[in-house]
Each structure stands twice: as structure tokens, then as C-alpha cells.
Amino acid sequence: MTGLDTDIAHLLAGAMVLVSFLLLYQDRMFALLNVFAVHACVLAFSVGWQAYLQRAPHLFITALIALLFKGVAIPVALHRIVVRLGIHREIETVVSIGPTMLFGIVLVGLSIVVMLPLTQAEGAFVREDLAFALAVVLLGFLMMVTRGNAVSQVIGFMSLENGLVLAATGARGMPLVVEISVGFSVLIAFFVVGIFLFRIRERFDTVDLRALDMSRGESA
Amino acid sequence: MSLAPGMAALIGLLGAPALGALVLVATRNYRLGAALNVSFSAVTLLSAAMLYWYRPEPTLYLLVDDVNTVFLIVGALVGLSTSAFSAGYIAHELQARRLRPRDLRFYHALYQLLMFAMNVALVSNNIGLMWVAIEVATLTTVVMVGIYRTNAALEAAWKYFILGSVGIALALFGTILVYLAAEEHLGQGTAAMAWSRIAAHSASFDPALLNLSFIFLLLGYGTKVGLVPVHAWLPDAHAEGPTPISAVLSGLLLNVALFALLRFKLIMAGNSAVIAPGPMMVSMGLLSLGFAGFMIFRRRDIKRMFAYSSIEHMGIITMAFGLGGPLANFAGLLHMAMHSLTKSSIFFGVGYISQLEGTQQIADIRGLTQSAPLLGWLLVVGVIAIAGLPPFGVFTSEFLLVTSTFSRIPWLAMLLGLGLIVAFSAMMLRLHGLAFGATDQRFALPAYRLAPMALQLALVAAAGIYLPGPVVTWFRHVASLLG
Amino acid sequence: MTLASPLLLNQLTASGVAALLTLAALAILTVRGPRGSQLIYGACALICAALACLGLCSLFSPRAGIAIVELPVGLPLGRTQLGLDPLSAAFVAIINIAAAIVSGYAVGYGTHASEPRRVVPFYPAFIAGMNLVLLAQDAFSFLVGWEAMSLASWALVVSDHHSAENRRAGLIYIVMATAGALTLLFAFGLLAAHGGGYAFSEMRPATNSAVGAAVLFLALIGAGSKAGLVPLHAWLPLAHPAAPSHVSALMSGVMTKVAVYGFVRIVFDLAGPPAWWWNIPVLIIAGLTAFLGVLYALMEHDLKRLLAYHTVENIGIIFIGLGLALAFRASGLGAAGALALVAAIFHVLNHSLFKSLLFLGSGAVLNATGERDMEHLGGLIHRMPVTAVAFLCGCIAISALPPFNGFASEWLTFQAILLSPQLPQWIPRLLIPAVGATLACSAALAATCFVKAFGITFLGRPRATAAAAARETDRWSLTAMLIFAILCLLAGVVPGAVMDALAPVSKMLLGAQLAPQLTQPWLRIVPIAPERSAYNGLLVFAMIVIAAAATAFVVRRFASHAMRRSPAWDCGFPDASPATEYTAGSFAQPIRRVFGSVVFRAQERVEMPKPGDTGAARAYVEIHDTLWEAFYAPVIRVVEAITERLNRLQFLTIRNYLTIVFAALVLLLIVVGTGR
Amino acid sequence: MMRNWLTQLAQAVLVLGLAPLLSGVTRKIKARLLRRRGPSVIQPYRDLLKLIRKETVVAENASWLYRLAPYLIFAATWVAATLVPTFATGLWFGAAADLIVIVALLGTARFLLALAGLDVGTSFGGIGSSREMMFATLAEPAMLMVVFTLALFAGSTELSSISAYMTGAGVVLSISLALALVALIIVSIGENARIPVDNPATHLELTMVHEAMILEYSGRHLAVIEAAAFLKLLLYLSLIACVFTPWGTASAAAGAVSYGVGFAAYLIKLGVLAFLLVLFETAIAKMRVFRVPDFLGVALMLGLLATILLFVSKVSR
């Protein structure tokens, strides 16, 4: 492959990290959803590019899933849920945006540091792709941890999972990638449906997980 | 053409539960469903037992060796007795209106699906496939935990689901990294995901990648094993789900996840340049042991208490395997098998207790040896067995583990002993409240329904007194394989 | 004389254990009421008697090495090895003699159990466990027996599970027992690692002084906690009284001896040659145990707890003997070591006899009056004359007064102490006389304590109606107690026989033995040399009897035979109400003043009513269990604090848990990232 | 052998005969020191005879133990007394029992006496028994420490050997020996219920210890117990005599003459010791009960000190 090809892949991976940061930055629900849609689209592009590079047509399926399911279906569904639940107020953040961003940067640094000792045989680009993927994963995780609201946690989880798909596609010729991405889509569907169910069963007046934790097996 | 017996066994092992799942979705009558459930599990056990003698050829996807045969047989055994127990259990749940017949269809189907997933995870030679199987197993158990649809149950399921999926995600990342490490030596494609190949060639892999991957795998699969600090889902899931599921979780699923961890530990062990996985496993094991021991003291819910005891024992086993060496591995293996049998049988007892007493609150239960003598004494025996007193198998394994550890790393053995004592005293504290004390209640429980519990405990006692030569040699061989 | 091949004897003994186990299983299935339990107990008595005979036979049968019975069961990586060497043979004989008689007592006493099924099945299992410990020649079966013993006795302790007190006792007991077993596990782990196997035969060569020292301390903790060495005795006075009395007799009189055996086996047999300082910790702890044990006993008013505390004291005396043996052995003074060791094991035998007797007596009292609290007893000598006689013998014996057996063994211990100037090191030479003083002091205190025990319980006037209505117990119990009393006297009158019987033990452990005693003129015992010291129990006994008889004869011959019964004079103002009698509390008051204020932080407070107020004056006595407050309360507090803190982790939100996972991940990443 | 037999027998009779006389003498001396004439020295014999002739009154709820105890107490004390060499060492019976046994025999007697005190169930009996036992808990170990010291000197616990050693050349004037002597004296004062520990003559209830225990006894029982008390005093004095002033005591195989000498020497020693004892008694006042432990504790400490000094200084023999 030519340097340009890898550069593009590299660029896309980098873009995902950037978008992850944008995700962390959002403090409005709808904006968050839109940014996530972008996140998914970038993933779709990068996966598609990998499919083209690796001459692996099956990866296009993954790309397609990313584009349609995560880029369109889920955001729309979540949009409706948000409206239905009437939680399109500000996202209450457990840790305020600023420190979160700072910590995010630290995480990116960390993910690069841990990737450094990889032997050169891997080729610099794969290594840095990995670093980016790891960064996306960690940022997604960070989002799950710092957001006190189920919908944004779902989004955090999904961005985390995007990072995984990025890594998986980055790994050349890795089998089962499609199956895995499908599996994850199922997982996310569970997630969303779960939130939805909780709502319409009116067991919990809000999907804020703190409320979800009200009913303890053994009340302290 | 005639089918090799090994292949036939494998087909039975995977086919029976798969078929069972399909059939059971279709069966409306829950009694028939329960019966079918038992029979399918029996077939699974038979085929698992066959695997002890006949092995199929290893492929890139499936591999049956001495190691996973142990897990398969133990798992199938527990699966069978649990299905037998649940047959009696769910009937009562129906009368109590806690479940509807429609739920039971799902319940039975999911039960078989779970068995299927776990068997696949155990026999899969492909780390990706193994990952998928474990994910499926997790999701099924999530649904089963939430089956009562009470607040607590849903909350437990939700917690389990979220933490579980995160764990799954981490495990996947680790898997990808392992693939990356393998891919440059074994070429792209499935070959680089076949565990047997990877383990064989891991010596030449990039140590940095392996290190990184093991972290993610340890946390990812460790979540399923229930190791502290990623254990949080386990107690609630055990406490709120139907008791048979608690039994299966403690008796099987934890082992399966542990098995996955072991496979990757072996990959790590193959490479000298990596940081040793042992210390990490040992420290996490010790942490789990001590933490669970202290947590048992203040438990008010009987099932949650035994769930913590599962964490404790998983910690012990992880520690044993982390220590490595023929003796410790042998002890860990034995402990794993004994814990599955004992803990599941304890959960059988606990299920009946909570049904009879109508509560899971320890404070409301007392004098079981008087109100339901057989059940009460069986519980006492079970707790004594799980607490590691003779003449039960757990004592044998703990004897080996403690003595071997003390001779190698005394202070570690001291910590181990401390944790054991803490957990022991906590269990005993609770047991005295449960089993003894004056009560005017009298429960009538037909003895045959206690058969699964009694049989498993008898098995554990027998293993503690006399372990047949072939089994010993087999376990020793496995222990040597585990390095 | 050789009676049978050692191998055969060992096989028979092992099968005896098996028989006891089957008996236990049988009991689970069959026992419904008194009849069945009587049968079981009877069978136990017979089997134990047989085992005792076997023990004696193999003690006296000359042997080269030890005939091992190998069983294919047990540890997967080893084989169970059973066998009797002189040490275990001696202990088998000792514990089974007591167990047999106690079982005979139980034939009568056991019929009173309210729920026999909670008691009878565990009784044979208990005895079987103890015998297994003695038979074991490898670590695994030793520990299996050890734990079986603990478990069965635990079940017996909680057999009366309705009282919260018993449940607490059971809990503390089982936890401490398991902790002790764990330390023994450590000890065996060390020995096995250096010896290369779990069989004792493989461990013996492991003679590494560092290992030996570690093993000594582990054994001191592990076996000591079971034996009841201060401060690991806390479970003992709780658990022993909680069990049914015949079981208390076994636990106090027999099980503690198995613990002593464990210590001797590990330290004298397996741990290799002792260093010169090993005796120091043993002697210090032993002295403390003896002294504090008897002081605690003096403060007790519960008859059975008093006896339990005296077990602690006697264990201290035994360990003093063992410590001396260690000291002499380390300095190569074989004969002196043999004397000390024989004294210790002789005291083991004696204690198993009189302590069992006393517990059986207390059981008879408890059964007749339903009372364990001495403040409600009194005057039983009139209603339970035979029990009183037997109990009195036990009291004299345990107070180490001639001509009973307790004195013989303590006399030997004193003789051993007097040999200690031969030791080259200074510390023991300073320490041992102090220990001797402690021993003498605790002997005197023991006498005081048993004047109180017998005097308050059996003499004087009944302090409660229950005591006034008491009835003598059944024949089985009486016979058992009388047999014990006679044995106590016999062992005291012909101590030479016992000492000769124990010679093989000292030969095996120390390679030295005392000169044969039975060949001495007039059955006297001469530990070292006749001009140095000698004791002739038979003669002393005979002289006392003759002198008393002669006096009685003469006095009756010349004195007036007129005798009149009249109310007690009591300095002219006798008070009919028993409330004016001296109580156990008031009897112990001087001792409490002298020792208690320091040891127990004892305080007495008297509340006088105002002048003119007709209300009663009240006296309060406040006593602290200082040892518990010093050693156990803190542990409990710590555990509670930790659980309190950790327990919060049960009630976090999912997000918090995710945070923990995240933190763990980042931490590990950092570890790896900065790994090299 | 035969000779030993006879000596032993003679000794047994002798102590029995001398004991009341000794008490008579001490009383007489005491009276003299107090400027009283006092009863004749043979008064104790008269008392015993009178008591024996009197009717015996037994409390209603007294048990068999109450009636058996006096004889056993007397027997134990007598046996103990016959073990102490008086005018001749090498008693035949001495080879059968050593100093420790003597102490223990007295312990047996005390044990039974305390029980007898509790038997009737009066409060005074209780006071007596409990205080007596409390004294014993200090006096007995002190006595044993003395025994240790002597035994370590003589390398034996046999009285004959000890006194032989004391007469022999090997003896040195050692501080330990002095300490032991003082301890022994204190113990014998305590054990014999003499002032300042207890007052044999008192009948003021709250101060009496020994008398309180035997308060209920009368007639022949009382006589036997009194005799036992006489014997005990004799025993301690002759013990001191035999150990610390062994001069003149005849050896086992000596002839009739030396026996005569020994006997004379013995009487003189007793007289002197009795005089010293009484002197001491008249010199000081009785203590409060709870001062007594300190008094006896001193004895214990001295004994222990003596022993330890020996242990440290002495090479083993």
C-alpha cells in the first residue's frame, strides 16, 4: 500500500479521537446525539477505507452497520426517547467539562505511551492506529464514568465500542469482525431497549442511574 | 460413513443444548419443559463424559484437550443436577405466582442456550469464537436474572448488563491485541486466532502487545469471574435471580470465564519477555479473598452472602493458578471442581430455605436444623464443606494450597490463611444464626427433592476422602499443562 | 513381653477407629430415644476399652521401627499412613481408658438428653477423631483427625442450641479451633517442604534449626490454642461447660491431651533437635497459664466453668514439664529430660483421670439439681453421698495432695525443677526457679479452689430448694465415677508402674529413660538416686490409714461414747437461714483482695442505706476478664471497623462501580506503560 | 534395718508424747514473760483427757466428713511429724518420703480441716476456712522455696541427707541459708496460727482463723484436732532444729550412747526454739487479716530469692 493510503487511514483514526473529545465537550443532549452520529460516520468511513485497503469486502458490511445503525437508527431512537422522557435539559455531569477534557488528554497521552514499546516490525502506522483506538476506547469509558445520565452513558459506551471496531478493522485480516460488530449492535439494542423498557414500565420515574440504584437488594 | 466417537460426543455436547433451546421455546407445558430440560442436560453430561475417553480431532475452531474436559464434565454435571433441582423449584415459584408459565418457556429455553454457549466457550479453539460465546452466555444470564421483573431483580440485571458489557468490550480489545501479536507471525486470518497455534508460538510474539492484551483480558474476563474490584455485578445477580441461576452462575459461568483467563495465561506463560501474569492474578485473587471475607460479615441476604463466598473461592482459585507449579495448579483445579459442586448444592438448599421461609433475610431465618432437620443439617454440611473442613474435597485443595504456598512464600500463605479465617468466621457467624436457635416452625419438605443437594455433597465428601487414581493422574497431567 | 505383631496391633487399632465411625453413622440412622443411645454408648465403652488394651499392648511390645498401615485413601498426592509408636501408643491408652469409663457413665447419663439425635451420633465420631490424630503418621490424616475432633465436639457444644450462650461458645470455639489447625497446617507445610513429603517419616530428617524454631512457635500456637494455653484459652471455659457433661469430661479430660500429644509429636519428634532457648517461651507461657488458670477458676461460681479453668491450669503444669524436658534435652541431659517428660505425661494421665471424674460429678449434680451455679447448691453430701465421695477424691487428687495421683506427678515435676542447676545457660537457671514458685503457688491456689468447690457444693446447708430436693444419680454414673476415683488413688499409690510404662516414650523421644521403678523396694519411686529423693505413695497411704485407724480405735476405746446432735452453736447466735452461710463469692473474697485487684482489676463497692433507712445494704463486686479485653476485644473491634468501611462498597451506584473498573484499568495501563 | 524400724517407731511415739508438753512449755514461758504464773506444763495432757471424757456434741446437719476429718487430720500430721528426724537421722521411713511430701501431708491436713470448717454451714466456719486457705496459698509456696534452697544445698530433698550435709564439712555460711531460715520461721509462725498471724488463745470471733474452723467441734473430735495442732508445732520446731542446728543428732548406725546424746540435744533445741518463739510472740502485736498476706509474701519472696541466688551461684551437684 502506498504511504497516502495509510495516511488517510491514519487521518480517519485521528479524526475519531477528535470527535470523541467533542463528545466529551457536549453539554446538550441533542448536540450530543448529533456529534455521536458524526462519530459513527467517521468510523464508517475509516472502516470502509480499511475494507478497500485490505481488499476485504466483508468489512463493508461492518461499515454499513456503523453508518446505518449507529449513524442513523440509534441517534434517531435516542432522540425520540429523549423527547419522550423529557430529559432534553442539560446533561448533568458528575465531573465538570474542563477537568474531564484535561483527563481525556492525559488518557490519550497514556494510550500513546503504552503503545510506544511496540516493536517496529508492526509498522508505525498500525501502532499509532492502535494508540488512537485505545484512546477512543478510554475516552468512551471516561464518558460513561463522568456522565450521570443513562442516554449519555449509552453514547459513551457506543463510542467506546466504536474504538473497538476501529481497532478490529485496523488489525489486518482479522476474522469475525463482522460477527463481532453485529454482536455489539445487538448489545446496544439491548441497552437502548432497556432504557426504553424501564421508562414505559414506569418503574423508575427517571433513567438517571442514581434513581435506578434506589431499590437495593439490601437497603443499607 | 461412520462417525468417530469423539466427533459424536462433541456433536452431542453442542447439539443437545442447541436443539434443546429450540425445542423448549416451542413447549408450552412447563412440566414437560422441565422434564425435557433435565433430559437434554443428561445427554450433554453423557457426551461430556464420553469426551474423557474419546477426543475429536482439533480444528482451528474447536479443540478438546485434557484441560477443558475437566471444566466440561464438571459443568455438565452441575448443569444436570441444577436442571433437576429447578424442576422442583419453579413449580413452587408458579404456585407462589412469582413466575408465569410463559416465563418458564423462556426460562427453559434460555437455560439450554446458556449451556450451549458455555460449552462452545469451553471447546472453542478460536479466541474470537470464545469471546462471542461468553458474550452470549452473559446476555442470557442477564435476561434470566431479571426474570422476576421486580425492582430489585431489574436493577440487578441492569447492573449486571452494564458492567458485563463493559467487561466484554475490554475482553474484546484484549483479544484484538492478541490477534495483532499473533498475526505477524502466523499470518492473517483464522490461523492467528487459533489458541493452540498462538500458545505454541507465543514465544516469538511482541511482549509489549501481550502485556497490554493481558491487562484488558484480565479485567474483561475477570469481570465475569467476579474478581475484586470488577465483581460488583455478582452479588446482586446471585441474590435477585432465580436460585437455579445463582447455582449455575456460581457453579459454571464463573469457571468458564476463569477458563478463558487460564487460556490467555498460558499464552503469556509461553513468552519469557512479558511481565509475569502470575503476580497480577495472585494479587487480584488475594484481594477478592480478603474483601469477600469481610463483606460476608454484614450480609443480611442469604443468597448474597453465598455469592460473596463464591467471590472468595474464585479468588482462592485464581490465586492458586496465579502461583502456578504442579502442586498449586492441582490444588486450584481440585478447588474449582469442588467449589462448583459444593456451592451449587448450597444454593439448592438456599433456594428451598427461601421458599419455605418466604424470605431471604438471614435475620428472619433461624433454627433450620429444628424446623427442617434434613435441609438444615445439609446446609450445615454444605457450609462446613465450603469452609474447607474435612472430610470434604475443599479441605484437600486448601491443604495442598496452603502447605505448598507456605513452603514457597510464607508471608503470602499468611495472608491467605488470614483471609480464609476471616471468611470462615463470617460464614460460621451466619450459620449459627441460620441453623440453630429456638423456633416453633415445622416445614415438611419431601426428602427426594433434596436428592441433588445430598448427592453433590456426598460426591464432595467422597472426593475428600478418596480421589480415584485415574482422576488424580488426569488432574496432575492438567496441572502440568497449566505450567 | 510381645503379645502380637505391631502391625497387627496397628491394624486392629485402625479398625477400632473405623468401628467408632460406623457407630456414628449407625447412630444417625437408628437413635430415636434413650434405649438406642444407651446401646450406642455401651458399644463406645467396649470399643474404647479394646482400644485402650491395644494401646497398652503396643506400648509394651518391643519394636524396631514402626509398622505402618497404609491406606489408599486420603491425600491425592500421598497415602494415608497409620501406626502406633510408643508416644502415640501411650496416648491411645491414656485417652481411651478415660473415654471408656466416660462412655460407661454416659450409658446412664445420656438418657437424660432432650434431643439425643443432636448428641449421640457425634459422640463416637468425636472419639474416633481423637484416635485418628494419635494413629496418624502423616500430616494430612493428622489434620483430618484434628479437624474431625474439633467439628464433632463443636456439634456437641451447640447440641443444646436454644441458649444463645451456647451458640456463642460454639462460634468462638470453632473459629479458634480452625485458626489453630491453620497454624498447624503452616507448620506441616514447612516440615513437608524441607522433608519432601507429608509423611512424618519423610519430615523427620528435616533438621534445620531455623525451620525448627518456626515450627516450635507455630506448634505452640496451633496445639496450644487447642490445649488452652493462655492467652489462647478463651474458647475453653466457654465451650467445655456448654456441652453435655459427659462430653465436657471428654473435651476437658481427653481432647486437651490430644492437643498436648500434637505439641509433643511436632516439637519433640518432628522439629529436630531443640536449640537451647526453645524452653524459654514454653516455660514462660506455661507458668502464666498455670497461675492465671487457677486464679480465673477461683473467681468462677459456675461449677463447670471452674473445672474448665482448672483444665487451663493443669495444661500449664503439663507444659512446664515439657518445657523442662526441652531444656534438658537441648543441653544433652538425657536422664533429667526423661524425668521431666515422664512427669509431664504422667500428669497428662492424672489430669485425664481426675478432671473427667470431676466433670462427671458436676454432671451428676447438674442432673440432680438442674444447677451449675454453686451459689444455689450446698449440702449435697447428705443427698448424694456416693457422688460426694467420688468428687472429694477428685478434689484431693487435683489439689496435688498425697496420697492421690496429682501429687505424684507434681512431685516428679518438682524433682525435675531441682535438677535445673545442671543447665549451662543462665536464663533458664534464673527462669526455672521462678516457674517452680509459680507451680507451687498454683498448687496451693488449686487446693483453695477445690475447698471452695467441694465445700460450697456438697457441704453446708442447701442454698436453694433444687439442692434440697436433689437425688442420688443412677448406678452407671456412680460406678463410672467410683472407678475413676479408684484409678486416681491407684496411680497415686503405685506411681512406679506408670513411670515404667512411660519409659519407652522417653526412650523414643530423648533416647534416655529412667531406671526401672517397680524393682525398687516397697514400690517406692526413685527418679534419680535414693539418697537424693524418693517417694513411696503406698507407704504414705498405708501409714495414714493405719495411724487414723489406730487413733480412732484408741479414742473410741478410752473416750466416752456419749454423742448428741444439736443445732450448730455458731458462737451462740446460730441463724437458721442458709443465706448467712459462706458463699462461693465470699469464700474467694480474700484471694480476690490479694491477687484479684491486680489481675482482674477487681473492685468491691458497698452501698450503705442512709441512717434510719431500713433498706438493705448492697455489695457489688466488679471483675474484668483482662485477658479477653487485652487480646480479643481489640481484634473484634478492628474487624467491625473494617467491615463497616468496606460494607459501603455494597451500596454504590453503577456509575461508581464503572469508575472503579475504569480506575483499575488506568492503573494497570500505567503500571505496564511505566513498566520498564 | 531392724534398728531403723525401732528408731522410727520410737520417734513416732516420742513426737506424740512430746507434742502436748511442748505446747505446755510455750504457754508456761509466755505466762512467765507476761508476769503470770500460768498453768502447769502438763496442762495440755489434762485438757486432752478431759475432752476425751466429755460428751461429744455434733451439729445437726454435720455429715460423715465432719466426724471422719479429725482422725484423718491427726493421722496426716502425725505421719508428717514422724518423718522429721528428731534425735537420730536415717529413719527407715525417711527413705520413703522427703521434705516435699511432709509439706504436702500438712497440706492434706489443712485441706480436710478447711472442709470440716465448711461442713456445718455456719458463717464462722466459712470465715476460718477461707482465711486459712488464703494464708496457705502464700505459706505453702514459701515453704517449698525453702525446701528448694535446702535441696539445692544438699543435693537432696531427703531430710536425713540434708541434716547430714549440714553437719558435714561442705557446709558454708551462705546468705541463701539465712534467707531460707527467716522464711522458714515466718512460715512456721503462720502455719501454727501464732501471733502475729493468728492468736491461738483468742475467742474473739472476727479475729480468729484456726479457732473459727474448729468452732463447732467438741469432745473427742476436738481432742484429736488439738493433738494434731500440738504435733504441728512440734513438727516445725524440730524441722528447724534438724536442719539448721543438726549438732548432736545421732546418725543412723550410731550406738545407744549417741542416741542418748541426740535425745538430750533435741530437748535442749526444742526448749530454746520454744523460748525464742514465745519471745517473738510477746514482742509484737497481732496483725489485721489483710496485713498477713504481706507478712507471708515476704517469706515467699525471701524463699524465692534464696533459691535464685543458689541457682545462679551454684554449680550443680
Can you spell out the DSSP letters for D142-168?
Answer: HHHHHHHHHHHHHT---HHHHHHHHHS
Chain A residues in contact with B168 by the CB 8 A cut-off are: 187
C234 and C304 belong to one structural domain:
no
Q: Categorize the per-residue pLDDT at B237 as very low, low, confident or very high, splitting at 50, 70 and 90.
A: very high
Could you tell me the residue range of the domain that residue A105 belongs to? Answer: 3-209
Tally of domains in chain C: 4
Q: Cβ-count burial of C49 within 10 angstroms (0-12 exposed, 13-18 middle, 19+ buried)?
A: middle
Which has more pLDDT, C265 or D255?
A: C265
Q: Looking at the structure, do residues C442 and C399 belong to the same domain, yes or no?
A: yes
Smallest Cα distance from D181 to chain C, Å: 17
Q: Which of B215, B390, B432 sits opposite C147 (nearest CB)?
A: B390
C527 vs D contacts (CB less than 8 Å): none
Distance CA C59, CA C497 (A): 13
C389 residue type, one letter: V
CA–CA min distance A77, chain C (Å): 23
* pLDDT computed for residue A191 by the predictor: 78
pLDDT the model gives residue B100:
85
pLDDT at C206 over 80: no
Please state the rounded mean pLDDT for residues C530-536: 86
Q: Do C571 and D312 touch (CB under 8 A)?
A: no
- How do residues D204-218 score in pLDDT, each as one tens digit? 666 678 888 888 899
Q: Which domain holds residue D300?
A: 2-313
Question: How much is the pLDDT for B445?
Answer: 86
Q: Cα distance from D140 to chain C (closest Cα, Å)?
A: 6
Residue of A nearest to B174 (CA): A164
Q: Which D residues, 50 through 109, put their C-beta within 8 Å of a C-beta on chain C?
A: 52-61, 63-65, 71-72, 74-76, 78-79, 82, 93, 95-98, 100-101, 104-105, 107-108
Is pLDDT above 50 for B204? yes
Question: Would you say residue A218 lies in a domain?
Answer: no
Contact A166, A16 (CB under 8 A): yes
- Between C617 and C641, the higher pLDDT residue: C641
pLDDT in tens, C235-293: 999 999 999 999 999 999 999 999 999 999 999 999 888 999 999 999 999 999 999 99
pLDDT tens string C311-345: 999 999 999 999 999 999 999 998 999 999 999 99
Chain C / chain D CB contacts < 8 angstroms: 290
Task: State yes or no: pLDDT of D95 exceeds 80.
Answer: no
Residues C389 and C499 both lie in one domain = yes
Q: Is A158 on the interface with B (CB under 8 A)?
A: no
Number of domains in chain B: 1
pLDDT at A214: 46
Q: B–C contact (≥3 CB pairs within 8 Å)? A: yes
Does residue B409 lie in a domain region?
A: yes
CA distance C460 to chain D (A): 4
Angle, CA A212 vertex, CA A208 and CA A216 arms, to 5° = 155
What is the amino acid identity at position B362? Answer: I
Name the residue in chain B with its Cα closest to that of A122.
B184
Stretch (H or E) spanning C612: none
Dig out the grid coordinates for C266 from the structure: 511436632
Compute the mean pLDDT over every residue in chain B, rounded to the nearest whole number: 91
Same domain membership, residue C472 and residue C330: yes
Q: What is the pLDDT of residue A122?
A: 55
Residue type present at position C549:
A
Question: How many angstroms separate the CA atoms of C481 and C365, rounded?
Answer: 12
Compute the average pLDDT of residues B79-92.
92
Question: Which chains are within 8 Å of D by 3+ CB pairs?
Answer: C
* Candidate from A37-46, C561-570, C583-592 with smallest mean pLDDT: C561-570
Using a CB-CB distance cutoff of 8 angstroms, which residues of chain B are in contact with residue A134?
A: 173
Q: C498: burial class by Cβ within 10 Å (0-12, 13-18, 19+)?
A: buried
Where is pLDDT greater, at A219 or D122? D122
B161: amino acid identity, one letter: F
- Which of left, alpha, beta for D38 (phi over 0: left; psi -120 to 50: alpha)? left
Which residues 437-456 on chain C approach chain D with CB closer than 8 angstroms? 437, 440-441, 443-445, 447-448, 450-452, 454-456
- In which residue are the cell numbers 500505567 written? C670
B461/chain A closest Cα distance in angstroms: 33
CB contact under 8 A, D133 and C447: yes
Note whether A150 contacts B: Cβ–Cβ < 8 A.
no
Q: Which of C76-85, C314-323, C424-433 has the highest mean predicted lDDT (pLDDT)?
A: C314-323
Confidence bin at A39 (pLDDT 50/70/90): very high
Q: Identify the closest residue of chain B to A116 by CA–CA distance.
A: B208
Q: Tell whether D301 lies on the interface with C, counting CB pairs under 8 A.
A: no
For chain A, give the mean pLDDT: 80
Q: For the segment B248-259, what is each residue's pLDDT rounded down to a tens digit? A: 999 899 999 999
Span A177-208, pLDDT tens digits = 888 888 888 888 877 777 766 653 333 334 44
**What are the cell numbers at C439?**
507451680
The ipTM assigned to this model is 0.91
CB contact under 8 A, A168 and B176: yes
Q: Which subunits count as partners of chain B given 3+ CB pairs below 8 Å? A: A, C
CA distance to partner chain A, nearest, from residue C654 (Å): 7
Residue-wise DSSP of B179-233: HHHHHHHH-SSGGGGBHHHHHHHGGGS-HHHHHHHHHHHHHHHHHHHT-TTS-TH
Question: Residue D193 pLDDT > 90, yes or no?
Answer: no
Which pLDDT belongs to residue A204? 37
For residues C140-151, average pLDDT: 95
Distance from the D180 Cα atom to the nearest Cα atom in chain C, whole angstroms: 14
Closest CA in chain A for residue B129: A176
Cβ-defined contact of A218 to C669 (cutoff 8 Å) = no
Those chains having 3 or more beta-carbon pairs within 8 angstroms of chain A are B, C
* Position B316 in a domain: yes
Spatial contact of C161 and C167, defined as CB atoms under 8 Å apart: yes
The percentage of chain C sitting over the pLDDT mark of 70, rounded to a whole number, equals 99
pLDDT on residue A218: 45
Structural domain containing residue C170: 1-201+229-244
What is the arithmetic mean of pLDDT over C145-152? 95
Structural domains counted in chain D: 1
**Predicted confidence (pLDDT) at residue C3 exceeds the cutoff of 60:** no
In whole angstroms, what is the distance from residue A139 CA to residue A150 CA? Answer: 17
Q: Would you state the pLDDT for residue A121?
A: 53
Please indicate, yes or no, if residue A156 is contained in any of the structural domains. Answer: yes
Decide if D157 and C415 are in contact by the 8 Å CB cutoff: yes
Lowest mean pLDDT among A114-128, B359-373, C365-379, D144-158: A114-128
Q: Which band of pLDDT confidence, cut at 50, 70 and 90, is reported for residue D169?
A: low
Contact (CB<8Å) A122/B206: yes
Strands annotated E in D114-260: none
Q: Is the pLDDT of residue D221 over 90?
A: yes
Average pLDDT on C199-211 reads 81
Q: pLDDT band at residue C575, thresholds of 50, 70 and 90?
A: confident
Mean pLDDT of C5-15: 88
In the predicted structure, residue B142 carries a pLDDT above the cut 70: yes
Task: Kindly determine whether residue B406 and residue C186, on different chains, have CB atoms separated by under 8 Å.
Answer: yes
The stretch B236-244 carries a mean pLDDT of: 91
For A113, which residue in chain C has the nearest alpha carbon?
Answer: C673
Q: Do C420 and D311 touch (CB under 8 A)?
A: yes
pLDDT digits (tens, 9 = 90+) for B28-63: 888 899 999 999 999 999 999 999 888 888 888 899
Measured CA to CA, the distance from residue D13 to residue B109 in angstroms comes to 104
pLDDT for the residue numbered C168: 95
Is there a domain that residue A28 lies in? yes
- Whether residue C509 is contained in a domain is answered as yes
Q: Cα D95–D98–D104 angle (5° rounding)?
A: 140
Q: Are the C-beta atoms of B434 and B368 separated by less than 8 Å?
A: yes
* Cβ atoms C45, C100 nearer than 8 A: yes
The C-alpha atoms of residue A156 and residue B398 are separated, in whole angstroms, by 43
Does B308 have pLDDT greater than 70?
A: yes
Is a pLDDT exceeding 80 seen at residue A28?
yes
Which chain C residues in 492-531 lie under 8 Å from chain D, judged by CB atoms? 522, 524, 530-531
Percent of chain C with pLDDT over 90: 65
Q: In Å, how far is C365's CA from the nearest CA of chain B?
A: 26
Identify whether A73 is part of a domain: yes
Does a structural domain hold residue C222?
A: no
Q: Is residue B313 part of a domain?
A: yes
The pLDDT of residue A89: 64
**What's this model's pTM, rounded to 2 decimal places?**
0.93
Average pLDDT, chain C: 91
**Is B473 inside any structural domain?**
yes
* Beta strand pairing call for C618-622 and D56-59: unpaired
Rg (CA), chain A: 18
Is it the case that residue C352 has pLDDT exceeding 80? yes
- Please indicate, yes or no, whether residues C511 and C380 belong to a single structural domain of this protein: yes
- pLDDT tens-place string over residues D257-285: 888 888 899 999 999 999 999 999 888 88
Task: Name which of B161, B173, B301 is nearest A164 (Cβ-Cβ).
Answer: B173
Residue B318: burial class (beta carbons within 10 Å; 0-12, 13-18, 19+): buried
Q: What pLDDT does D252 receive?
A: 65
Q: What is the pLDDT of residue B1?
A: 45
Q: Please determine, for residue A209, whether its predicted confidence score (pLDDT) is greater than 70.
A: no
Can you give the three-state secondary structure of C115-156, one letter per residue? CHHHHCCHHHHHHHHHHHHHHECEHHHHHHHHHHHHHHHHHH
As a whole number of angstroms, the distance between CA C546 and CA C331 comes to 45
CA count, 13 A, side-chain hemisphere, D205: 13
Q: Which residues of A touch C (CB under 8 A)?
A: 94, 107, 110-111, 113-114, 117, 138, 141-142, 144-145, 148, 153, 209-210, 212-213, 216, 218, 220
Domain that holds residue B302: 277-483
Smallest CA-to-CA distance from B379 within B431, B302, B422 is with B431
- Does residue C311 sit in the same domain as residue C367? yes
C279 shares a domain with C236? no
Query: Whose CA is closest to C477, among C59, C61, C27, C104?
Result: C104
pLDDT value, residue C595: 87
Residues of A in contact with B161 (CB under 8 A): 190-191, 194
